[in-house]
Amino acid sequence: AAVAPPDVTVTDGKELPLLQIGSGPPAQEVPVSWVVLEPPALRRGQCAVVDVAGHPVLIAVPAGATSSGDSGQNQVAYADVCPACNGSLAGAELKGDVLSCPSCSAAFDVRRAGAAVGDTNRTGRHLAPLPLVQRAGGWRLALPRTPPRTPVGVSR
């Protein structure tokens, strides 16, 4: 069981699989834990790395997101690891919908599932999205039931 900080509650109950839909061979089920959290208060065009049950998570609100007055509307979540350099995204700059890694300047579109911007070599490099949904009881984030990956240059 994950140890959660005071503002995060790990849900109990049945293990819920997370299925990825894509154009490749059928994906294997990834066991996840759904955690309830209070996302950070971010405005459009802002992002932050937060600790969620021991996993560093990047939460971002793209500048092009529509706002309905709810500070949590249109937030997206990604694992805090740059796929280009394996560094942390803490301190990343979000311009419009494009997030730039503070270590290597690789750019990713946070509204297009974290796809690399300008990926002319078609490497398929992208941020690792984490499902973040709003339910009647608040926000829920799906975290893989694996140890968190520590970005290069970050000691835990």
State residue 2's pLDDT score.
43
- Contacts within 8 Å (CB) and 24+ apart, 86-91: 86/151, 86/152, 87/151, 87/152, 87/153, 87/154, 88/49, 88/56, 88/151, 88/152, 88/153, 88/154, 89/47, 89/49, 89/58, 89/127, 89/151, 90/49, 90/56, 90/154
For 43-70, what is the mean pLDDT? 82
Integer Cα distance of 42 and 154 in angstroms: 24
Q: Of 150 and 137, which is predicted with more confidence?
A: 137
Angle at 152 between CA 114 and CA 86, to 5 degrees: 30
- pLDDT tens, residue by residue, 4-48: 444 444 555 445 555 555 555 555 666 888 888 888 888 888 999
Residues in the chain: 156
- For the entire predicted model, the pTM comes to 0.72
Residue 84 and residue 103: Cα distance in Å, rounded? Answer: 10
